[in-house]
Amino acid sequence: MTESVVIIGAGVGGLSLSVLLAQQGIRSKIYEKSAKIGGRTSSMMYKNHILDNGFHIMPFYTQSAIYQIFKKIGIETSLKLSKVDAIAFYTEDGFHRYPKGIVDLLRLSMIPLKSRVSLLKILLPIAFTSIKKTESWDDVPLTESTKNLDAKTNAFFEAICMLAFADSAKNISLGEFARTIIRANPFKGGTSEFAYPQDGGYDMISKVLLHYAQKRNCSLYLQSPIKKIIVQDQQVVGIIDSNQKFIDTNCVVVSYPAYHAINQLFDKDIFDKDFVNKINKLNETTAVVEVHFALSKKLDKRHVVFPVGSHHTAKGIFFISNMTPKVSPKGEHLIISGTPVPPSYVKNPFKIREIVDQMKKEINEIYPEFEESLLWERPMAWSLVESVVKKPGMVWKSKMPHSVEAVKGLFFVGDSTISYGIGTDSAAHSSILCLPKILKYIKTTKPVITPLS
Ligand SMILES: Cc1cc2nc3c(=O)[nH]c(=O)nc-3n(C[C@H](O)[C@H](O)[C@H](O)COP(=O)(O)OP(=O)(O)OC[C@H]3O[C@@H](n4cnc5c(N)ncnc54)[C@H](O)[C@@H]3O)c2cc1C
C-alpha cells in the first residue's frame, strides 16, 4: 500500500469512500472539522439517552447503498440493525396499517376503495418501470400525477413523501419518487423495510465504517478543518489546514455539500462562473422542527405513526425506544416528533415554542397518557434537513459531478453529488459511483502520488 487519498469530512459519504478505497488497498487520511464523526448523522448523550441529530432512519434496509457497501467489504454482520416496520397512519377514525405491498394498498383503510384503485393505477406502472425510464421524469413534479386524486388519497401521498423525503409532494421530482417506489418493490428485488442501528445512535454506521478503515491504516484527524485546496496548472497539489500548514497531496475528495465547498476551498478563478452558479442552485434546503420527548411510559408498541391531514402539526411520531431500547435508560422511553416548517421559523424561538406546544397537544389527543408521563423535552430546529435535492429538475444527474475537467485529482462525494436516493443512502451511493473514477486517476498518476512512510 503506497497511495493515500485525502478525504475532507467524516460523514457517511466520506467514510463510505474511505472503506471502499481501503478494500482496494488504498489508504486515506480523513480530515474532519468537528470533534466527532458522522457529520449530519452524529449522535450525543443527553440525560442518559442517545439522541440523534433529528430523526434518522435507514431507507430500503438491505437494498440501501450503505448496506451494499457493508456487504461488499464483508462487514454486514458488524452493524446490527433493527427493522423499522411497525408503521401506521393516524386519522380521526383511528390507526391504519402502512402498506408494504400491492395487496396492502388494496386494503388501505384510510382511503375509499375507489381511490385505492386510482392509487394503484398511478403506482403500479411506476413500480414496474425501469430505473433508466425514471430519469426522463426528473423534471416533472410528483403532483403532476397526483393532482386529480381526492383529498384523502393526496393526504396519503403527503405521508409517504414525509417518510421517504421529509418533504411535501409538491417539492418532489416524479423521477426520484419513482426510483423510491421501484427500490421498495419486492417483485423487483426491493424492500419497503427501514432500519435503525440496534446499539442506538445513527452514527453507529459511521463508527463501524471508521473501525474498518482504521484497521487498514487509514487515519482520522478530528477538529481539523481544511481551509483551502491548492491547485496548480489544473492539478491538485495540496491542502491547507486551519494552522496554515501545507499538506502535500495530489488526490483530494471533498465529502461535504459541494455548493459550500466550491465557494469556500478554492481560489476564485479555478471554476467557470456558470458552473459555480449551477452548483449554487443545488443549495436548497428543507427546514424542520423536531422534538425529543423522554417518557416514563411506553405509549405505543409501533415504531412510527404518521398523523395524516393538514390539521396535524406533527407529521411523524417516531418511537425510538421501540426500534431499540438501548437508546434510553431502564424505565424511560424516547420518542421524536417532527414537522417541516418554513426556513424563517428556524431562528424564531416563539414560533418553535408554538409548534412544540401544538405538537404536544396533538400527541396527547392521540395518546392521553402522554402529558402525565413526559419527563423532559428537547426541541431542535434545522434549516438543513436535506442538502440533497429532490426537487424537479435538480435530482440525480443535475447534482454536483464527482470530478471536474478543470481540476485533476479533485473528487466530490456526499449527498449533494450525483447519486440515486436521498439522505445517507445517496451519500453512500455517491461513493460507490465515484470510486472507479478515483481508481482510474490513481492508476494513471501512480508515479506522482506521494508515498506514505
Ligand atoms: C434532521 C435531519 C434528519 C435527517 N433524516 C434522515 C433520515 O431519516 N434518513 C437519511 O438517510 N438521511 C437523513 N438525513 C440526511 C442525512 O443526515 C445526510 O444526507 C447525510 O448524513 C449526508 O452525509 P454526507 O457525508 O454527504 O455529509 P455530512 O454528514 O454533512 O458530512 C460532511 C462532513 O464534513 C465535515 N466538514 C465540513 N467542512 C469541512 C472542512 N472544511 N474540513 C473538514 N471537515 C469538514 C462536516 O463537519 C461533516 O462531518 C437527515 C438530516 C437531518 C439534518
* 116 domain residue, yes or no: yes
Q: 294-323 burial, b for 16+ CB within 10 Å, e for fewer? A: bbeebbbebbbbbbbbeebbbbbbbbbbbb
Tell me, using a 6 A CB cutoff, whether residue 20 lines ligand 1.
Answer: no
Given 331, 350, 382, which residue is the final one in a domain?
Answer: 382
The arithmetic mean of pLDDT across residues 384-404, rounded, is: 84
Return the ligand 1 atom nearest residue 256 CA. Answer: 32
CA distance 453 to 285: 42
Tell me, using a 6 A CB cutoff, whether residue 43 lines ligand 1.
Answer: no
Quickly state the pLDDT bin for 140 (edges 50, 70, 90).
very high
Quickly state the pLDDT bin for 429 (edges 50, 70, 90).
very high
CB 314 within 8 A of CB 337: yes
Type of residue found at 92:
E
Residue whose C-alpha cell is 418554513? 342
For ligand 1, atom 8, the nearest C-alpha belongs to: 56
Å from CA of 221 to ligand 1 middle: 17
CB 79 within 8 A of CB 91: no
Q: Are residues 394 and 377 in the same domain?
A: no
Tell me, using a 6 A CB cutoff, whether residue 333 lines ligand 1.
Answer: no
Q: Are residues 131 and 169 in the same domain?
A: yes
The arithmetic mean of pLDDT across residues 290-317, rounded, is: 94
Does residue 381 carry a pLDDT above 70? yes
Given 148, 171, 192, which residue is the final one in a domain?
Answer: 192
* 78 domain residue, yes or no: no
The arithmetic mean of pLDDT across residues 180-202, rounded, is: 90
The arithmetic mean of pLDDT across residues 293-305, rounded, is: 97
Q: Domain with 272 in it: what CATH number? A: 3.50.50.60
Does residue 447 carry a pLDDT above 50? no
* 52 domain residue, yes or no: no
* 92 domain residue, yes or no: no
pLDDT per position as a tens digit, 194-233: 999 999 999 999 999 999 999 999 999 999 999 999 999 9
**φ and ψ at 264, to 5 degrees?**
-100, -35
| Most informative mutation of 56, 183, 411 for ligand 1 (most atoms within 8 A of CB) | 56
Candidate ranges 11-20, 121-130, 334-343; pick with highest mean pLDDT: 11-20
Q: Are residues 205 and 63 in the same domain?
A: yes
In sequence order, the β-bridge partners of residue 170 are none
CB 234 within 8 A of CB 408: yes
**Number of domains observed in the structure of the chain:** 3
Does residue 47 carry a pLDDT above 80? yes
Higher pLDDT, 189 or 337: 337
Q: Are residues 110 and 178 in the same domain?
A: yes
Å from CA of 15 to ligand 1 middle: 11
CB 274 within 8 A of CB 447: no
Q: Are residues 118 and 176 in the same domain?
A: yes
Does residue 280 carry a pLDDT above 80? yes
Q: Are residues 212 and 258 in the same domain?
A: yes
Q: Are residues 263 and 224 in the same domain?
A: yes
What pLDDT, on a 0 to 100 scale, did the predictor assign at position 386? 66
CB 191 within 8 A of CB 60: yes
Quickly state the pLDDT bin for 284 (edges 50, 70, 90).
confident
What pLDDT, on a 0 to 100 scale, did the predictor assign at position 446? 60
Å from CA of 104 to ligand 1 middle: 34
Mean pLDDT, the chain, whole residue set: 92
* Residue 218 domain boundaries: 4-40+58-73+199-283+390-448
* 439 domain residue, yes or no: yes
pLDDT per position as a tens digit, 79-134: 999 999 999 999 988 999 888 777 788 888 888 888 899 889 999 999 999 999 99
Q: Domain with 305 in it: what CATH number? A: 3.90.660.50
Quickly state the pLDDT bin for 278 (edges 50, 70, 90).
very high
Tell me, using a 6 A CB cutoff, whether residue 52 lines ligand 1.
Answer: no
* 343 domain residue, yes or no: yes
- Beta-carbon contacts of 48 under 8 Å, excluding residues fewer than 6 positions away, are 328, 329, 332
Tell me, using a 6 A CB cutoff, whether residue 340 lines ligand 1.
Answer: no
In sequence order, the β-bridge partners of residue 407 are 404
Percent with pLDDT over 90 in the chain: 73
Q: Are residues 273 and 316 in the same domain?
A: no
CA distance 251 to 450: 9
Quickly state the pLDDT bin for 453 (edges 50, 70, 90).
very low
Given 355, 382, 409, which residue is the final one in a domain?
Answer: 382
| Most informative mutation of 34, 40, 52 for ligand 1 (most atoms within 8 A of CB) | 40
pLDDT per position as a tens digit, 48-89: 999 999 999 998 788 899 999 999 999 999 999 999 999 999
What pLDDT, on a 0 to 100 scale, did the predictor assign at position 247? 95
What pLDDT, on a 0 to 100 scale, did the predictor assign at position 448? 47
Higher pLDDT, 385 or 23: 23
Q: Are residues 265 and 344 in the same domain?
A: no
CA distance 196 to 198: 6
Tell me, using a 6 A CB cutoff, whether residue 286 lines ligand 1.
Answer: no
